[in-house]
Structure 1
């Protein structure tokens, strides 16, 4: 399938009701932290926007993931979508996702065509309510990692994401007597788990509904 046809199908799928928890929970670590799905929006949480950015390459669709550097924090060394916390100056969460992606991987946000949003997902450990924003570029961008926030950029091919063999499972030892039975995607040699995997799970569900 060519890139243009894929974009049209995805735009159509985004107009239907989103699967949300039904799809997200399939890639949730066990024991499942139900706070992810029961967030009280009146509570003092922080908002974050991430960008799922599709672009064409050799008749295929790709999207970038980033690996965080090692640091003293909740998401040290993890693979994620470009994105970050909402600032007061951001008009909305879409602007947050575009601004952060521009800062982290060097895209030109003015060239991104926004298609829609996936379901919000709460991350209890960092108190962020994450909104995934879906957009596309008409040609492959020159991706440049921001050295302090990105240790590497992974250019993930959509067709590989849809292969069932990349979905795996293992016990993650997070220290402090915390072990999680964790489903994950193995993408370009990296373990993609947690909120990123849960967002990808909803994306996969959406793409299957679109006939991918």
Structure 2
């Protein structure tokens, strides 16, 4: 498969094969984790993109950060897929009928106490978005080829509460994609290369 520009059919085949991959792991992950799910929306334009959001600056968790649409599992959610689709509808107004589910990547455990299931889906334009201005400051797209190119995957270190932690980052234009979002994109790249 050409990682620079995979087609919808290549992506469907790869998820049907479900190769095993090693997932990036954040250090300092707590023992008790809250289940969450995000949608990794692959927008099938002439050049495929990944749809991302920038969270508003006033939010308690991860203010101003680049993220996938998604969030914490609710009791009434039957599965991580339901959580990802519900949260996507609530945050950016992308209706589930516009998402062709492919599968999911391995669970990603964060140092902030979440066990996140990245649900991957194809999104065919055109589609309308209705952004929840309380949670989402901006919706934007990044070329999938850029995110899959390991030359764009940076490793950084930072000391948090006296412990050294490492994380991935993928700066793109004015956007700084890092932490769990970048880690899940690394998982996607490893999955497609496996």
2-side partners of 1:137 and 1:181: how far apart?
A: 32
Q: CA deviation at 1:173?
A: 7.3
1:192 aligned to which of 177, 183, 190: 177
Equivalent position of 1:161 in the other structure? 147
Note closer, same or farther for the CA distance 1:167–1:53 as it changes in structure 2 (3 Å cut).
same
2-side partners of 1:95 and 1:88: how far apart?
A: 11
Unaligned runs of at least 5 residues, structure 1: none
| Pairing of 1:9-28 with structure 2 (within 5 A) | 9-14=10-15, 15-21=17-23, 24-25=24-25, 28=26
| Pairing of 1:65-84 with structure 2 (within 5 A) | 65-71=52-58, 73-84=60-71
TM-score normalised by structure 1 residue count: 0.77
- Structure 1 residues 150-201: Cα deviation after superposition (integer angstroms, max 9, x where no partner): 1111211112213344333555577x66775543101232111111111000
Correspondence 1:48 to 2:48: no
Q: CA deviation at 1:50?
A: 0.2
Equivalent position of 1:142 in the other structure? 128
Equivalent position of 1:205 in the other structure? 190
Alpha-carbon contact 2:67-2:181 (below 8 Å) kept: yes
Q: What RMSD in Å do the two structures reach over aligned CA positions?
A: 2.6
Alpha-carbon contact 2:8-2:44 (below 8 Å) kept: no
How many residues align? The count is: 190
Alpha-carbon contact 2:36-2:73 (below 8 Å) kept: yes
Correspondence 1:115 to 2:102: yes
